[in-house]
Every structure is written in structure tokens, then in C-alpha cells.
């Protein structure tokens, strides 16, 4: 730096003593080049590194050359070798002449510049968003006329230029067209050579000043221009020389502090041509950090002396900014060292966050925020909770903001103050309103609706709400979760759901201790914070699938949550203050109640949802599922018709499970295929190149699918080529899709044409009507595939040794046959083999049935030694399905007796019941499921244990309608019903 200072000071007296400016540019250029050489020496050390990856374009102004010709110098950074300067000199001396000359262009495209004006001798990349303008630039470049006018855009009247971002200004530029854009452009601009176009990026090289005279065309904006030249000036004028030397001196001083300026000077001085006073002014203004209006003022100034003065002001201002920057940096460096620097940065970060409103660590602000939360419900907060909050607030003021305990306390206060202490939502105790909402959302489920109405009635009489624990049990898809949502809507309570299926961490229920890293409250505290009320409806899903892991037993942890005697003082490990959950209505869901731990089940009120019979499924499918699915698929009701027979076939052959979730999936599948068919049909009716259409009577356009498909086949055999058309058109433009939608492939209508009388052909528009799609039993398989289930009745009349039993499954009720066959017979060979993947309980039931059957046979036919001398095989079909349970005992006995007496059982008979060794019939479970299974199998007579008579009487009328039911307590009564003459014993 000292060497540079000495060289520049030594240069000044020689400039003042020997400067003799003549009338030509050549006499001035060597002196200025000598001055700039000192600036060039500052940047030699970083030349090769600065040029890597950059590309600079410079051209000489025609005003400054003696012969009036323009020279463009293209410099590519790839040609610069840091090892030597030979390649650099070759690159800088590469001169590419342009023909025709720039001064020949008097009409140019107007390019708006949003940020800064383009000065002669400099390049500027811009992004052109207007496709028409970009196309015009590319076209002009192809025509060997790569020139355009670059004009700065004026700011909007009444706006501060410094407050408008670059993206906003660019956006506003392309909103204007024609005269509106012309009015927004400065009159004086620059003739720019289009160096390259890559995508929407255009690289411009400035040549000379232009002034707009008039507009030629609007899109893209084209204007007539005058080429401006600098006003004549005296190159021997001492004032101009002094001003130019002051500019150079100031540039030298700025170069000491700003590396950015060094890059500009290094690149410019290496590759510029002749350097004179006007170019010095342009150079200083172009690389300064002045705003665009000041730069435009320099561009518009044609007086060289005034332009130099303006440039001198700009570079002086840059010098002052550099001095201020240097003084600020020096002052800060003196204060900052080590921990002080880190502290200052933290304080700056806090100040920035506070100004932006993102976050503040100010203790007073935090305390004010927490107290502001408490103010609305302060009277409702329990005194012991208020005391804890006040203690924590006091503790917060004493802690350092950088300590870990501060964050723990702040998070703790955040949770304590966010809970809705004593804030209850207004409940709706209108029983009729609740009944209406429950009926809107669900069909049937009388038991569940009755229990909810009872809950509302008790709340209305007491005048206050109460918390209860209801457990909805039933197979998947019966609507347990959606019932919870409907109950919340009927009661006007907030709804919150969380699933505990597979939950193995007690902390999810009771929360973590605050001392743990990342501690969080339990699900109930999170629920209260989210809903904002203390009496929500909380749906605990899949409560029968609670896990148990190394982190404790969540089922035991939920006892305090669900126990009405304990949850008034529920204690979360994180909050460590009692919370009143007595007003919360808990609704749990489970598939199998037996999997719920007994202590937890004891605190619940179980409401069993057995499932839906066929009639109920029909109503649900028609009134709920089909309507919602049709709306979700965007299909209009008049476009589709799903017949009752199709729905019935769908329910009986595809969706026999107790719930309706699978039924909904199949209905969605049908409507998706219908939607695709309607879209294809509509696409085939859209106008392609239709020249003629066959006009037929309406009667011929209506017919069944078989007739229409037959016509289509006939039309294919009679197809002939049509002249002047590359595609064959269909003659029949309307074919009703009545039954089989897959008879007409998407491309079939466009590949055939009927040969008709030309007199019947007239020009018309193609129809766009989409035919109504009818789904019936005949085409149901086309939508949902082959039937999954077949008739459960394998036999019209059961043969000897075969009896139908009733079973319960997780998916609802089911019927299954029990078959017995004789393997071999011989004296003393009495034995029983079992197959069908039976469980231990069912194997024991078979052994008991064998003993009871022998005793019954001895009573009825004392002389029959069948069981003593016969080896029998008892099988339960569907061997891949595991089976267990005691309720098949009476069915097995009946099967064995039927085989032994060679007598089939009564037609359309099914039975269930557990049998003891003495022949007594014990009660069974799943009465409703088994009754539904019997109705589905078209059973007329059912045998139930007498102990289940009350369960059957409580069933809905439509479930037990048309069934002949017998209730027995001894197997001998079953014998009389199964093999007797239509006796009604025990009914």
C-alpha cells in the first residue's frame, strides 16, 4: 500500500507539469492511461482469481474514435491464464467488427431497465419476461441487427424509490404496454448490443447515448431515436483536467478500502480501449453505489465538465461512506474481544427478534404475557393452581435467561396458563335436537342413541353436565368413531380424538417429569389446551389394543383417567397440579371387550354394536354412503342409477361383514368406474373434425346394451373409407349405456362408420349428451369383480350327519356346518377323530358331545350299538380358519345323532348352545350377530339356550321378524325339535 501511495504521489506533479491537451483524443489518452495504470497495479494480485467464472464485455464509443468506427472487445474468462499474460493479451486484443454500424440504427426496440441505467462501455444482464419482446430480440439478432435501446424506468409518481423492491419494480414493468410503457421510460437511454440470449436472460453491451423521439409500434414497444453526442469541450481547460484528476485521486483513495471497486477497475483498465474524460465520468458513475436517478442524471448530461462534476460528487460520497464504514469497524473492533463479541452478537439477535416480534427473552414481557392469559379466567382458577403460578413467576424473575432452568420454568408456565381452568362450553340439552342430529348421521343403532338421550335428559334435569365413560364395542366398520363425533355435535361439545392402539408408554397418558429433556404433558393436558374448554368429548380409540412395554402399563395408568371417583383430581406428572376431568365425557371404542383389562372395563359402560342386518345396510347405502360418494366423485344424480337389486347383491355377495366400511369401499369403486366411463363418453362426444351426422328417429337411438352392441358389430362389417378424412367417424352418435358399460371400449366409436343413404346426412354439431349409467345385477360384476361370497346354505336340505350351527366372529355373525362321517365299523372300534383347525375348548366340546350323544342314543334306541362299534370323523369346514368356543356343543351332538340314526335334521334349522355332560344347555354370547347370520342364510328355525331368551327379546323387531325361535334348557328338547314332527317344545 505504501508503494502504491508513493507511485500515485509521484505521478501527480508530472501530470500537472507535462499535461498538454491538444485538439485530438490521442494527446489526452496517454496521460489518463498512465493515471489509471497506478489503479491497475492495485488489482494485479487478484487478477486471475477475480476473473475465473466471469465474462466481461467492453466496447469503445464511436464518439471517442477518430475514424468513427466501433470496436467490440469480447473477453472470455476461460482464455485468462494465471500463469502468464500472453493468453490474456490475445484475448483483450480480439476485435470483432460489427456491420452495419451502430449509428445506422434510428429505430430500435425499447428495453425497460428496472434498476440502473446502462452506461456506454459496460455490459448488463437483464431478464426479459415479455415473450413478445424476447421473440423480437431473438429475431433481430438472427437478422444481423443485434441492437436495441435500453431505457431506465421511471418511478411511480408519489412513491419512494428506496421502498420498492426489485421484484416489485420488475413485476410492474411488464404490466405496462405501448404508450403506457413509453410514458414510464426515461427519454435518454443507451444503444445496447445484444451479446447473447440464454432463456429469458439477455446480455447487453452499451455503445452510445440515445434519445427517444417518437413511438413506432406498441407490442413490442419500438421507438425512433436520435444518437446523442457529447458537447464540444476544450481539452486544455485546466478546470476539466483538475476535475478529472480529482476523480482519479478519489478513486485511488476508495480503492484502498473497497475490494469491490478494485475488481471493477482491474477488469475495466485491462480491456478498455482509448480512455478519455467522458469515459472517465461514465466509469465513475457506473461503478458507484449511487441510486438509479443519480446515475440517470449522469447519463443524460452531455456537457463533459458537468458530467465530471456529477461523477466527482458520486465518488466523493462513496469515499465518505467508506470512511464511515472504516470508522464503525474500527470502533467496534476496539470494543469487541472474546466473550464481549459473543455477548454483543447475542444482544443484537435479541433486539432483532424483539423488533420482528418473533420471540423475546425479556422477563418482564414474559411475565406480562402469562398474567394477560390468566386475567380473563382468574376467578375460576383453583387457589392451589394460582399459588403455583405465582411461585413460578417469581422464580422466573430470579433466573438468568441463559440458564437451562429458565427454559424449563418458562415452558411450565406456558402450559399452566394455557389450560382452560373453569372454562366450560354451553351444552345443548335439547333432546329433540340431539335425536335429529343422531338420526341424520346414523341409521339404526337404537341402543346407542337411547343411551345418549338418557345422558342429555339427566343433564337437563340436574341443570349441569356430568362426565361419563361409555365404551362402544363392536366389529370394524359399524361406525363407532363417527358416533363419537355425532355425540359431540349433538351436545355442542368440543371433540378430541386420540388412539391408544399399540401405546406402550405410560408417559403418553400421565406425562413426563419436568426434569427430563424434552418433557411433555400427557394426552389429556394436550387435549384441554387444544380444545380450550374443560368439558370436551374425548374419544379414546382402540382401547382394547393397549400395549405393555418396558415403560410401564398404560392400561393401569388409564384407571385414574377414566375412574369417575378419581379423575376430579387427575394428576399429570408434568404439571404436578390436580386437574378436574369430572366434566369430560369419555367415549371409548373397542372391537373385542374381552381384550380390555378387567379393572379398566369395570369403569366403563359398555354399549355393544353388533352390526347391521341386510335391511339396515340397504338404508345406510342408499341414504348415506351412495349420496356422499356421488358428491365426492362429482357425479350428478340424473347421470347414474344404482338399482336396489344391485345394492342387495353387493351386500349379500361382496360385503357380508357386520360393518359398512367395506360396503362403502365397493360403492366408491362403482362410482369411480362410472366417473371414468362418463368422462370417456363425454370425450368421445366432443367435437373433433365432424363433417356430417346421421339423423335417425329417436326410437332407433334407444335400446338395450345388447342391441346397441349388435348394431356396432354390424357397422364394423359395413365400414367403408371416407374421402378427405384421416379418421373414420361414427354414424351413431348416441348409444344408451343401460346394462353393460364395458361393451363399448373407449376407442370403439371412433373406429367404425355405418354406410347410409347420403340423403339422410346433414351437417350438424356433434351431441354432447352423456347417457345415463344404470348399475344392475346383470352388470354389477363388471364394476366390482366376481362375487366374494356365495350362498351360505350349501344344501337345500341337509343330508344325514350334517347340521348348521351359528358362530360369532370379530366381523359379526356367521353360519357353519358341522359334518360327521363314518370311517369304519367293527365291534369295539368306537372312536372320534376331529379336523377343521379346532381350538382346545372346541375339542373338549366335541368329546362332551360324543358322550352326550351316546347317552341320548341309548335312551331313544337302546338296541343301537352304533357309537360303540363305529369310528367317526367330525369335521368343521373352512379348515384354514381357526375356530374355538363352547357354543357348538349342541350342534355337534345333533350331527352325531343324525348319523347314528341315519335320519336328517329338520329343514332350514340352525342351532347354538353350550352343552354339559348331563345334557343341560348353557347360555352363549353374540345373540344378535348369530340371529343376523341366520337371517342371511335364510334359516327359518333357530334353537337358542333358554338363558338367552331375554337377549333375543331385546332385539329390534326387524332383526327377529319371520324367525321361528325355540328356547331350550336341555338337549332332549333339541332332539324333539330337530328330529320330531314340527314340535314347538320350549318356545
Annotated ligand binding at 477? The verdict is yes
**Residue 75 backbone phi and psi in degrees, to 5:** -120, 120
| DSSP conformation letters of 553-616 | -HHHHHHHHH-TTTGGGEE-TTT-SEE--TT-EEEEEES-GGGS-HHHHTTSEEEE-----HHH
Annotated ligand binding at 474? The verdict is yes
Residue 53's CB is within 10 A of a number of other CB atoms, namely 8
Annotated ligand binding at 876? The verdict is no
Within its chain, how far is the Cα of 601 from the centroid? 38
Buried b (16+ CB within 10 A) or exposed e, 95-111: eeebeeebeebeebbbb
Structural element, H or E, at residue 499: strand 495-499
Annotated ligand binding at 480? The verdict is yes
Q: For residues 133 and 98, what is the distance between their CA atoms, to the nearest angstrom?
A: 23
Three-state DSSP state, 56: strand
| DSSP conformation letters of 263-311 | HHHHHHHHH--S--HHHHHHHHHHHS---HHHHHHHHH---HHHHHHHH
Annotated ligand binding at 742? The verdict is no
Structural element, H or E, at residue 804: strand 802-809
Please enumerate in sequence order all residues whose Cβ is within 8 A of that of 104, keeping only pairs 6 or more positions apart, or say none: none
Residue 886's CB is within 10 A of a number of other CB atoms, namely 17
| Contact indicator for 539, 545 with CB cutoff of 8 Å | no
Structural element, H or E, at residue 120: none
Q: For residues 758 and 119, what is the distance between their CA atoms, to the nearest angstrom?
A: 74
Query: Based on C-alpha coordinates, what's the Rg of the chain?
Result: 47
Q: For residues 899 and 350, what is the distance between their CA atoms, to the nearest angstrom?
A: 91
Q: Where are the beta strands (DSSP E) in 605-703?
A: 605-608, 640-642, 693-694
| Contact indicator for 465, 427 with CB cutoff of 8 Å | yes
**Residue 429 backbone phi and psi in degrees, to 5:** -95, 20
Q: For residues 480 and 587, what is the distance between their CA atoms, to the nearest angstrom?
A: 9
Q: For residues 922 and 914, what is the distance between their CA atoms, to the nearest angstrom?
A: 5
Three-state DSSP state, 875: strand
CA angle centred on 374, ends 369 and 377, rounded to 5°: 150
Entry field: residues in the chain: 987
Three-state DSSP state, 841: helix
Of 626, 628, 653, residue with least CA distance to 641: 626
Q: Which amino acids are annotated catalytic? A: 887, 930
Please enumerate in sequence order all residues whose Cβ is within 8 A of that of 191, keeping only pairs 6 or more positions apart, or say none: 102, 105, 108, 147, 148, 149, 150, 206, 207, 208, 209, 210, 225, 227
Please enumerate in sequence order all residues whose Cβ is within 8 A of that of 318, keeping only pairs 6 or more positions apart, or say none: 250, 254, 258, 261, 288, 289
Of 195, 134, 951, residue with least CA distance to 608: 951
| Contact indicator for 173, 114 with CB cutoff of 8 Å | yes
Q: For residues 680 and 696, what is the distance between their CA atoms, to the nearest angstrom?
A: 23
Buried b (16+ CB within 10 A) or exposed e, 70-92: bbbbbbeeeebeeeeeeebeebb
According to DSSP, residue 117 is labeled P
Q: For residues 726 and 738, what is the distance between their CA atoms, to the nearest angstrom?
A: 32
Q: For residues 262 and 47, what is the distance between their CA atoms, to the nearest angstrom?
A: 10
Which residues line the annotated binding site? Answer: 474-481
Give the residue numbers of the binding site for ATP.
474-481
Amino acid at each position: 500500500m505504501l508503494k502504491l501511495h508513493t507511485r500515485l504521489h509521484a505521478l501527480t506533479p508530472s501530470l500537472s507539469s507535462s499535461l498538454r491537451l491538444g485538439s485530438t483524443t490521442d494527446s489526452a489518452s496517454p496521460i489518463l492511461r498512465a493515471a489509471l495504470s497506478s489503479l491497475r497495479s492495485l488489482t494485479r494480485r487478484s487478477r486471475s482469481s477475480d476473473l475465473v467464472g466471469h465474462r466481461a464485455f467492453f466496447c469503445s464509443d464511436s464518439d471517442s474514435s477518430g475514424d468513427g468506427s466501433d470496436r467490440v472487445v469480447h473477453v472470455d474468462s476461460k482464455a485468462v491464464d494465471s500463469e502468464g499474460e500472453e493468453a490474456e493479451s490475445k484475448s483483450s486484443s480480439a476485435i470483432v467488427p460489427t456491420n452495419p454500424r451502430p449509428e445506422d440504427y434510428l429505430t430500435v426496440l425499447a428495453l425497460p431497465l428496472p434498476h440502473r441505467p446502462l452506461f456506454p462501455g459496460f455490459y448488463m444482464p437483464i431478464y426479459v419476461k415479455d415473450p413478445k419482446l424476447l421473440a423480437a430480440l431473438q429475431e433481430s439478432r438472427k437478422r444481423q441487427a443485434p441492437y436495441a435501446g435500453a431505457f431506465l424506468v421511471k418511478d411511480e409518481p408519489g412513491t419512494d424509490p428506496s421502498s420498492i423492491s426489485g421484484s416489485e419494480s420488475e413485476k410492474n414493468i411488464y404490466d405496462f404496454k405501448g404508450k403506457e410503457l413509453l410514458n414510464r421510460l426515461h427519454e435518454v437511454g443507451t444503444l445496447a448490443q445484444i451479446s447473447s440470449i440464454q432463456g429469458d436472460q439477455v446480455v447487453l453491451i452499451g455503445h452510445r447515448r440515445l434519445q427517444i423521439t417518437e413511438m413506432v409500434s406498441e407490442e413490442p414497444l419500438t421507438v425512433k431515436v436520435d444518437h446523442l453526442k457529447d458537447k464540444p469541450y476544450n481539452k486544455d481547460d485546466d478546470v476539466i483536467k483538475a476535475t478529472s484528476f480529482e476523480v482519479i485521486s478519489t478513486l485511488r483513495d476508495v480503492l484502498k478500502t473497497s475490494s469491490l471497486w478494485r475488481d471493477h477497475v482491474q477488469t475495466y483498465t485491462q480491456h478498455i480501449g482509448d480512455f478519455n474524460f467522458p469515459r472517465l465520468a461514465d466509469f465513475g458513475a457506473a461503478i458507484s453505489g449511487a441510486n438509479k436517478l443519480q446515475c440517470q442524471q449522469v447519463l443524460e448530461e452531455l456537457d463533459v465538465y458537468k458530467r465530471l462534476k456529477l461523477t466527482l460528487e458520486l465518488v466523493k460520497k462513496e469515499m465518505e461512506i467508506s470512511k464511515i464504514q472504516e470508522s464503525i469497524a474500527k470502533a467496534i473492533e476496539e470494543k469487541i474481544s472474546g466473550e464481549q463479541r459473543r455477548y454483543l452478537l447475542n444482544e443484537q439477535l435479541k433486539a432483532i427478534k424483539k423488533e420482528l416480534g418473533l420471540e423475546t427473552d425479556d422477563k418482564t414481557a414474559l411475565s406480562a404475557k402469562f398474567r394477560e392469559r390468566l386475567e380473563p379466567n382468574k376467578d375460576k382458577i383453583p387457589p392451589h393452581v394460582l399459588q403455583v403460578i405465582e411461585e413460578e413467576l417469581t422464580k422466573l424473575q430470579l433466573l438468568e435467561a441463559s440458564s437451562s432452568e429458565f427454559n424449563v420454568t418458562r415452558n411450565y408456565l406456558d402450559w399452566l396458563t394455557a389450560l382452560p381452568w373453569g372454562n366450560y362450553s354451553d351444552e345443548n340439552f335439547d333432546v329433540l335436537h340431539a335425536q335429529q342430529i343422531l338420526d341424520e348421521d346414523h341409521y339404526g343403532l337404537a341402543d346407542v342413541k337411547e343411551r345418549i338421550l338418557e345422558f342429555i335428559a339427566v343433564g337437563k334435569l340436574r341443570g349441569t353436565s356430568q362426565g361419563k365413560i361409555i365404551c362402544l364395542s363392536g366389529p370394524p366398520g359399524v361406525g363407532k368413531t363417527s358416533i363419537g363425533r355425532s355425540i359431540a355435535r349433538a351436545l355442542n361439545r368440543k371433540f378430541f380424538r386420540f388412539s391408544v392402539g399399540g401405546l406402550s408408554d405410560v408417559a403418553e397418558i400421565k406425562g413426563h417429569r419436568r426434569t427430563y429433556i424434552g418433557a411433555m404433558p400427557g394426552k389429556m393436558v394436550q387435549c384441554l389446551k387444544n380444545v380450550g374448554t374443560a368439558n370436551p368429548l374425548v374419544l379414546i380409540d382402540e382401547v382394547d389394543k393397549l400395549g405393555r412395554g418396558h415403560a410401564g402399563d398404560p392400561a393401569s395408568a388409564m384407571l385414574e383417567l377414566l375412574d369417575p371417583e378419581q379423575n376430579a383430581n387427575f394428576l399429570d406428572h408434568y404439571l404436578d397440579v390436580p386437574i378436574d376431568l369430572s366434566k369430560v365425557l369419555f367415549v371409548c371404542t373397542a372391537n373385542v371387550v374381552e381384550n380390555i383389562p378387567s379393572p379398566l372395563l369395570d369403569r366403563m359402560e359398555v354399549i355393544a354394536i353388533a352390526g347391521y342386518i341386510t335391511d339396515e345396510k340397504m338404508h345406510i347405502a342408499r341414504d348415506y354412503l351412495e349420496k356422499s360418494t356421488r358428491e365426492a366423485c362429482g357425479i350428478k344424480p340424473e347421470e347414474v342409477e344404482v338399482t336396489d337389486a344391485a345394492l342387495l347383491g353387493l351386500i349379500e355377495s361382496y360385503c357380508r361383514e357386520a360393518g359398512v366400511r367395506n360396503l362403502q369401499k365397493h360403492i366408491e369403486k362403482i362410482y369411480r368406474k362410472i366417473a371414468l366411463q362418463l368422462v370417456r363418453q363425454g370425450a368421445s362426444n366432443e367435437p373433433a373434425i365432424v363433417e356430417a351426422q346421421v339423423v335417425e328417429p329417436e326410437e332407433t337411438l334407444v335400446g338395450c346394451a345388447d342391441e346397441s352392441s349388435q348394431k356396432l358389430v354390424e357397422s364394423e362389417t359395413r365400414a367403408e373409407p371416407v374421402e378427405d378424412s384421416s379418421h373414420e367417424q361414427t354414424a351413431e352418435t348416441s348409444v344408451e349405456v343401460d346394462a353393460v358399460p364395458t361393451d363399448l371400449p373407449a376407442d370403439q366409436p371412433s373406429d367404425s362408420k355405418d354406410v347410409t343413404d347420403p340423403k339422410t346426412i346433414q351437417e350438424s354439431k356433434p351431441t354432447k349428451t352423456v347417457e345415463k349409467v344404470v348399475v344392475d345385477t346383470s352388470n354389477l360384476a363388471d364394476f366390482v369383480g366376481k362375487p366374494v361370497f356365495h350362498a351360505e346354505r350349501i344344501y337345500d336340505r341337509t343330508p344325514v350327519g350334517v347340521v348348521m350351527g351359528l358362530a360369532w366372529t370379530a366381523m359379526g355373525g356367521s353360519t357353519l356346518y358341522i359334518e360327521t362321517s363314518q370311517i369304519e365299523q367293527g365291534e369295539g372300534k368306537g372312536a372320534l377323530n376331529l379336523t377343521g383347525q379346532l381350538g382346545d375348548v372346541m375339542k373338549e366340546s366335541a368329546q362332551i358331545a360324543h358322550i352326550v350323544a351316546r347317552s341320548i342314543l341309548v335312551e331313544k334306541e337302546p338296541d343301537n350299538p352304533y357309537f360303540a362299534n363305529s369310528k367317526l370323523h367330525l369335521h368343521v369346514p373352512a379348515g384354514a380358519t381357526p375356530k374355538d368356543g363352547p357354543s357348538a356343543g349342541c350342534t355337534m351332538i345333533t350331527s352325531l345323532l343324525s348319523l347314528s340314526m341315519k335320519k336328517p335334521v329338520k329343514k332350514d334349522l340352525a342351532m347354538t348352545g353350550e352343552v354339559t355332560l348331563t345334557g343341560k344347555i348353557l347360555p352363549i354370547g353374540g345373540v344378535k350377530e348369530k340371529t343376523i347370520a341366520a337371517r342371511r342364510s335364510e334359516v327359518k328355525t333357530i334353537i337358542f339356550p333358554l338363558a338367552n331368551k331375554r337377549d333375543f327379546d331385546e332385539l329390534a323387531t326387524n332383526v327377529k321378524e319371520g324367525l321361528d325361535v325355540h328356547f331350550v334348557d336341555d338337549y332332549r328338547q333339541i332332539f324333539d325339535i330337530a328330529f320330531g314332527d314340527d314340535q314347538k317344545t320350549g318356545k
